[in-house]
Structure 1
Amino acid sequence: MKHQEIYGRTVEEAISSALEKLKVSREELEIDVISEGSHGIFGLGAEEACITVAFKENCAPKAVLCAEDAITITTEIIQNLVDRMGLDADVEYLPDAMLTEESENESGMVFDILGEDLGLLIGRHGQTLSNFQYLVRILVAQRIKEYLPILVDVNGYRQRRFKALEVLARRTAEQVRIKRVSFTMDPMPAFERRIVHMVLANDPAVTTQSTGIGDDRKVVVVPRDNTTR
């Protein structure tokens, strides 16, 4: 990479911007300060700081894995795991599916495992599926040297569960709004609690909290002007 100019309000801000843009560590770049910038007088005459950056020798970025290759590799890894488990199932990539486990702003790659008698792969409250998904993410990251926000589903289980939890969360919020009394929901795994928190995040009448330890952790829906009781 040739030297590239990066600007910021300060030198450190410009460096941070360069690291974020190039997805590298500070140790991988040669950084030269061209201008430290100026605050000016009462905001007049202010100038941004300017730096130039270039990759150090032997630190050039690796080729970015194309989406098609990532899909192929992930599908292959999931299918291999399913086959080793002795399950008769196929793996399908869902380009337009909705993520249910990640933050509301995160996009990702969704794969659905399709077949008969796959309840064992889902497990109680989807816990086995969550563990399976974690394993898939590790294996894919080891293979391509990059983290991907992969979601693994089984026969659309997560999508149906998301819809059911969304309905439950909104009904619970409505009861809390009417009765002005906090309500503690049944224990849920982490990804289901996140769904409830996400669904009710912008509700003007209620807020949500988590309480409990381990498998007994629950979501409490609370009137916004009340304390939990």
Structure 2
Amino acid sequence: MDKVVAKDTTVDKAIRKGLDLLGVDSHEADIVVISEGKKGIFGFGQKEAVVEITRKEIMDFDEPGDIQLAEIDETVEDIVEDLEEDYPEAAEKILADQPEVDRIISSDEEEDAEAGHFPEDYDEEAGRAEAIAAVSAYLASVAEAYGAPAVVTVEEKNNMLIFQMESEKAGLLIGKYGKIVNALQILAQALVQRYVRRRLSVIVNVGDYRERRAAVLESIADRTAERVIKTKQPVFLEPLPAFERKLIHARLSQNKRIKTHSEGKEPHRYLVVEIAE
């Protein structure tokens, strides 16, 4: 549910009710007051206040393989904060692996892909196989520590590795607003970079979350396009992971009446949608 219409005796009460229904804070939602209501006299003629509250969708189309230390560190900080109270073993597992992930990214930043840390007799196929095995084991171990054992399978598509996680407790692995699965994807992408010389994109999916999320993102893109065309004013979408920004950009690129570009730095880059000149 991304939008609700809430009613109560006052606007403030209606807003609080709507925010509670969506499970978001005020800064995470767009609030429109449809009616301020009417007190009436002795209960007669009273009308409730009505508000419409829409969850802000967090929205570049940068290459998903471009991961920086700041993004890794913030990702780890966020995910550990969510896990450590109820799932300390999972939090410890992720924290234990962070130095290695940071080392991998630092190595990539300092050495550059051409020089790299690969031997002259490097075998691309063997490297890819090692990457798949290492990331699969890592995801399975985190899921186990999280109390949501998962079966991990892998599909290879061109320059993309799709790690599919199936669990009876899929919701735990997805996390609120997809925070957990997105964090695991960032960490998995970083780990893959340790084993392969050529840039590979990584997707981590839990159940059918990515498919459902893609449908939501397409809806956001369509609504945003309508708003920009109607108002002729730019819309600044909230930060989203790079691969989700890319999905929105791909959808909007089909509309020649608008254009898009990204601003900001990871992990806070956001998409700007505006009318085409």
Normalised by the shorter chain, which TM-score bucket?
A: 0.5 to 0.7
Equivalent residues of 2:224, 2:235 under 8 A apart: no
After superposition, give the CA deviation of every residue in 1:167-207 in whole Å (9 maximum; x if it has no partner): 32124314433x25225365242333332223223421001
Q: Counterpart of 1:93?
A: 154
Mapped partners of 1:24, 1:153: distance in 2: 30
Alignment partners' CA distance in 1, 2:228 and 2:114: 47
The equivalent position to 2:256 in structure 1, one of 200, 204, 224, is 204
Alignment of 1:26-105 (within 5 A): 60-66=120-126, 70-95=131-156
Q: 1:182 to 1:113 in 2, by over 3 A?
A: same
**Secondary structure, in 3 states, of the residue corresponding to 1:65?**
helix
Paired position in structure 2 for 1:166: 218
Alignment RMSD, CA only? 3.4
Structure 1 residue 220: Cα displacement: 3.6
| Percent identity for Structure 1 against Structure 2 | 27
Whole-angstrom distance in 2 between the partners of 1:114 and 1:220: 35
Q: Which segments of 5 or more consecutive residues in structure 1 lack a partner in the other structure?
A: 1-22, 26-58, 97-105
What amino acid maps onto 2:135 in structure 1? T
TM-score (norm 1): 0.55
Indicate how the Cα distance of structure 1 residues 124 and 194 shifts in structure 2: closer, same or farther if over 3 A, else same: farther
Displacement of 1:137 in angstroms is: 2.9
User: Which of the two has higher C-alpha Rg?
Assistant: 1
Cα offset for 1:221? 2.4
Structure 1 residues 162 and 185, CA, compared in 2 at 3 Å: closer, same or farther? farther
- Do the aligned partners of residues 136 and 218 (structure 1) sit closer, same or farther apart at CA in structure 2, a change above 3 Å counting? closer
Q: Is the 8 A contact 1:109 1:151 kept in 2?
A: yes
State the shift of 1:71 in Å: 3.3
Q: Which has the higher helix share?
A: 2
Residue of structure 1 in register with 2:276 after alignment: 224
Q: Which residue of structure 2 aligns with residue 119 of structure 1?
A: 171
Counterpart code for 1:151: I
Distance 1:141 1:188, change over 3 A: closer
2:235 aligns to what?
Answer: 184
Q: How many residues align?
A: 160
Moved more, 150-159 or 187-196: 187-196
Look up the equivalent residue of 1:75 and give its one-letter code. Answer: S
Q: SS at 2:125's partner residue?
A: coil
State the TM-score, normalized to the length of structure 2: 0.47
Write out per-residue CA displacement over residues 55-83 of structure 1, whole angstroms, 9 at most, x where no aligned residue. Answer: xxxx6331223455543443223222222
- Confirm whether residue 108 of structure 1 aligns to residue 160 of structure 2: yes
Unaligned runs of 5+ in 2: 1-112
Q: Which has the higher contact order (CA 8 A, sep 6+)?
A: 2
SS of 2:165's partner is: strand
